[in-house]
Amino acid sequence: MNKPRIVLFALVSLIIIVACALPGGPANPTSEPAPTVDTELLQVMVNRTVTAAIAETEQAAPTPEVEKEEIQATETPLPTEAAADPSSSLTSQADGTILFVDDQAKFQLNVSPGWLPLRIDQQEYYDAFSLPAASAPAVQRALMNIKTLDPQTFRLFIYDLQDGHLINGVITSVNFVWDPEASISLENDAAIKQAADDLAVSIPNLNIDSYSVSTTAGNIPIGVILSNIPGKTFEGTDVVLFQKQIYLNLPAGSLVVSFTTEQSFKDATLPFFDTMIDSMKINS
């Protein structure tokens, strides 16, 4: 049975979360060891999953063996010519928020104060390597792991790099994955339930906490999936990641917004994510 395109793009989003935050792989002490998610194969996994979505294959193809390329976290990447036309903008507002407008995907939202929005291969991405928070190895890895992703699909990343917010080596983050060809029915919870079931089958030890359909403060219909996954950080610390995924339709295609944080820190950070989602507007 074919997975809906939007589910495959949601899977891409969670692959990034798991690979960046849990390089030791998802783990469950009550079960057999799960396959390790190798951060150096992240790009291959993402590319194959996106290809599967575009080709509407029946299931994501196995990740092939590839020669590993060592990533030096201390090397700051250089801008490329692709930075000239992002089809989006970031504008600081008087209230301390940053307005993100995506002219291609046709949506906008306000990024909460203290959170860092980044677009792949744009100047703010390269500037992030000079921030004090970027001295942390976890931040360096997070930045390096997204540098070669396709900005046409990965429209925005947001990181909480405020002092004291790096909990057990886990960075609270948000990513926006856009598929211009996908759609999801939000008239009831049937499609979002199917998406939750597909994700649980596709990602080892992913626990689905709940799924629902609702609307934002701006009356945008959304599907919501809450989940968690246990694993080990790069430093070997046992953690549980909490994730909240938002699904919505746009004038062209659909958007999956994925929030992740350390489970014990969700009460401190989740309200800021919810505020950002409630600020969203769909543009014509």
Helix orientation angle between 190-202 and 5-21, rounded to the nearest 10 degrees: 40
How does residue 203 score in pLDDT terms, banded at 50, 70 and 90? confident
| Sheet arrangement for strand 281-282 | 88-92, 98-102, 107-111, 281-282
Kindly report the CATH class assigned to 5-70+87-282: alpha beta
The whole model's pTM is what?
0.81
Q: What is the pLDDT of residue 79?
A: 56
Reduced DSSP (H G I as helix, E B as strand, rest coil) percent helix, strand, coil of the chain, to 5 = 30, 30, 40
pLDDT at residue 3 in the model: 56
Per-residue pLDDT, 84: 54
Q: What pLDDT, in 10s, does the model give residues 238-261?
A: 999 999 999 999 999 999 999 999
The per-residue pLDDT for 39 is: 37
